[in-house]
Amino acid sequence: MKLILRFTLIFLLSITLASCELFVSNDGPFEITFDSNGGSEVDSMMVEQFDPFIPESVPVREGYVFVGWYIDEDLYYPMSFQTGTNRPLTLYAKWIEVGSSVDQQAIIDHILASLDLMTLIEGHVVDMLDEVEQSVVMIDTYQGFVLDGGGSGVIYKKEGNTYYVLTNEHVVNGYDSGEFIITVFTPEGEVTIPRSAITLRGSTVLHDLAVLSFTSEESFEVIEFAQKSDLHVGEFVFAIGSPLDLPNTQTLGIISALDREMADDLGMDTVTVQHTAAINPGNSGGALVDIYGKLVGINTMSYVDETVGEGIGGLHFAIQIDIILQVIDSLE
């Protein structure tokens, strides 16, 4: 009887252990290897469960056109990079020999589909904004020891340990050197530039632009300027700034119009980029960048209906880059 009971307990224990192994979950990461089928080598990579991914390079093979990656050796089932995977994979390259009778448009369509362009574009934009936001700063203005205003600015130049920051004239109007604190946002955290290190270089009411400089031993990102010829109506733009003291707020829009003349009762009379990327109080002096991360304008205002005293959606304006390039040297 004891022998039967012992065998029964061992049997139940083995079933329990087997069931535990059966339901063990592996959430990744998973190794993806690439069999280029005679083409150049493509490095393996590790991916998380169901995360979209893109191979780090495209294989080449003399005399052949690369068509795409497949999940089976018989090359029947193309890989969907958008949906990712929940297991390790080996992907196989498909080739078509140059000169063979094929539908070239079909090849192009297939390559475009397998590349998953939206994922590529999204990844580029995320990486671009991660880098550009490091050159966009928050500016606080003080009367004595009282914080009473501020806006945003853009680091655009470095000479030795001196950095130059472009912002709006109306952000610094009424203040002098020593009445600003600048906060720079780096991957390691916030860096505060004290009042004593900051100088107001120059400003222009006409174009609502001003330049501050500060000295620091730290290393900060410097933004790249676009050219007027780079700008086109309908292209995507991104506004980056600190509206309502919310640092590195990013919004997406398009260029609605170029060379939009704008003036106000305070003396501004300049040329702007009209765009739809949302900006709010605190965005003044912040960056408007294109999809490559180049500065196309300095955000300065949104249209407000004087009758109701409220902003009108999608009507926002940034000092255009050609105006910036014309006057910036004189402000330094």
Same domain, 175 and 250: no
Residue 12 inside a domain? The answer is no
261: helix, strand or coil:
strand
Contact 327, 209 (CB under 8 A): yes
Q: What is the pLDDT of residues 111-156, one digit of tens each?
A: 666 666 677 788 889 999 999 999 999 999 998 888 999 999 999 9
Domain C-terminal end among 71, 89, 115: 115
pLDDT at 17: 39
Same domain, 233 and 327: yes
Residue 126 inside a domain? The answer is no
- Please state which of the ranges 14-18, 173-177, 178-182, 305-309 shows the lowest mean pLDDT: 14-18
Same domain, 136 and 98: no
Query: Which pLDDT band, with edges at 50, 70 and 90, does 53 fall under?
Result: confident
Residue 325 inside a domain? The answer is yes
Query: Which pLDDT band, with edges at 50, 70 and 90, does 10 fall under?
Result: very low
pLDDT at 212: 97
Domain count, the chain: 3
Query: Which pLDDT band, with edges at 50, 70 and 90, does 26 fall under?
Result: low
Same domain, 96 and 162: no
Residue 24 inside a domain? The answer is no
Query: Which pLDDT band, with edges at 50, 70 and 90, does 42 fall under?
Result: very high
Mean pLDDT of 244-252: 93
Cα separation, 259 vs 25, in Å, equals 59
Cα separation, 300 vs 107, in Å, equals 47
Query: Which pLDDT band, with edges at 50, 70 and 90, does 255 fall under?
Result: very high
DSSP designation for 78: B
User: Can you give the CATH number for the domain in which 66 is found?
Assistant: 2.60.40.4270
Residue 20 inside a domain? The answer is no
Same domain, 327 and 229: yes
Contact 218, 177 (CB under 8 A): no
316: helix, strand or coil:
strand
Same domain, 148 and 197: yes
Residue 220 inside a domain? The answer is no
Residue 21 inside a domain? The answer is no
> pTM for the full model?
0.69
Same domain, 249 and 281: yes
Which one from 36, 114, 116, 170 is the annotated catalytic residue?
170
Cα separation, 255 vs 231, in Å, equals 8
User: Can you give the CATH number for the domain in which 259 is found?
Assistant: 2.40.10.10
3-state secondary structure 140-208: EEEECCEEEEEEEEEEEEEECCEEEEEECHHHHCCCCCCCEEEEEEECCEEEEECHHHEEEEEEECCCC
Q: How many other CB atoms are there within 10 angstroms of residue 264's CB atom?
A: 13
Q: What is the pLDDT of residues 72-118, one digit of tens each?
A: 999 988 888 877 888 999 999 999 887 655 566 666 666 666 666 67
Is 208 labeled as catalytic in the residue annotation? yes
Which one from 36, 242, 284, 302 is the annotated catalytic residue?
284
Burial 102-132 (b: 16+ CB within 10 A, else e): eeeeeeeebeeebbbeeeeeeeebeebbeeb
Is 110 labeled as catalytic in the residue annotation? no
Q: What is the pLDDT of residues 258-294, one digit of tens each?
A: 999 999 888 999 999 999 999 999 999 999 999 999 9
Residue ranges making up the domain that contains 91: 30-115
Q: What is the pLDDT of residues 192-223, one digit of tens each?
A: 999 999 999 999 999 999 999 999 999 999 99
Which one from 36, 114, 203, 208 is the annotated catalytic residue?
208
Residue 121 inside a domain? The answer is no
pLDDT at 269: 95
Is 316 labeled as catalytic in the residue annotation? no
Cα separation, 152 vs 182, in Å, equals 9
